[in-house]
Amino acid sequence: KVLIDVPRSDLAEELGQSQTKIQALQDTLQQVLDRREEERQSRQVLELYLQALKNEDTILSKVAESETVPREEMDVVDTGTSSTSTSAKTALSGRILTVLKEKPAPELCLDSRDLELVSKEDTQALASALRWDTQKAEALQQACDQELSKRLQQVQALHSLRSTSKGKKTLP
């Protein structure tokens, strides 16, 4: 960084080289610094992506564990009349509805496909299925939209980094 910041004429005089050679040297040094910064940013994004995957796996495993117990109880105790009436009102599965009702931030517990289903669901039908008011259901749909958007941005950033890193492999 210091060699890049030094005036070209001073560096050329000190090293006994022409200013064109010093310019080439400074340009090469700047490229190396730029590449290192890009690599650092790529590592950060990949670490965030891996952390998000781990969090999603943890959340999904917890949802799967909590899901098995209520189903067994429902098979033994209940005939499922409430789920039948719910399915008539909404296309969302019982698992999705359970997550939406029980989790404090359900948009973080659902996969992208489920988030899309919730976002596209009729607000009135969703509110009715969850026994919530329309405003709360609408807020949930907005949170799901925002989470979907955030995930899409992360995927686009990852694709951008991949394409950028593929182009950098040809550097000397």
CATH code assigned at 126: 1.10.1490.10
Number of domains in the chain: 2
User: 29 in a domain, yes or no?
Assistant: yes
Give yes or no: residues 46 and 108 share one domain: no
Give yes or no: residues 105 and 153 share one domain: yes
User: 129 in a domain, yes or no?
Assistant: yes
User: 68 in a domain, yes or no?
Assistant: no
Report in angstroms the alpha-carbon separations of 84 from 66, 74, 87, 108, 130. Answer: 21, 13, 5, 26, 14
Q: Is the pLDDT of residue 90 over 80?
A: no
Residue 114 contacts residue 108 (beta carbons within 8 Å): no
- What is the distance of C-alpha 172 from the center of its chain? 33
Q: Helix (H, G, I), strand (E, B), or coil: what is residue 7?
A: coil
User: 39 in a domain, yes or no?
Assistant: yes
State the average pLDDT over residues 137-147.
90
User: 51 in a domain, yes or no?
Assistant: yes
Torsion of CA 52, 57, 63, 67, to 10 degrees: 160
Domain with 159 in it: 94-167
Q: What percent of the chain has pLDDT over 90?
A: 21
If one compares 77 and 117, the residue with the highest pLDDT of the two is 117
Cα–Cα distance measured from residue 136 to residue 101, given in angstroms and rounded to the nearest whole number: 11
Cα–Cα distance measured from residue 18 to residue 63, given in angstroms and rounded to the nearest whole number: 67
User: 103 in a domain, yes or no?
Assistant: yes
User: 141 in a domain, yes or no?
Assistant: yes
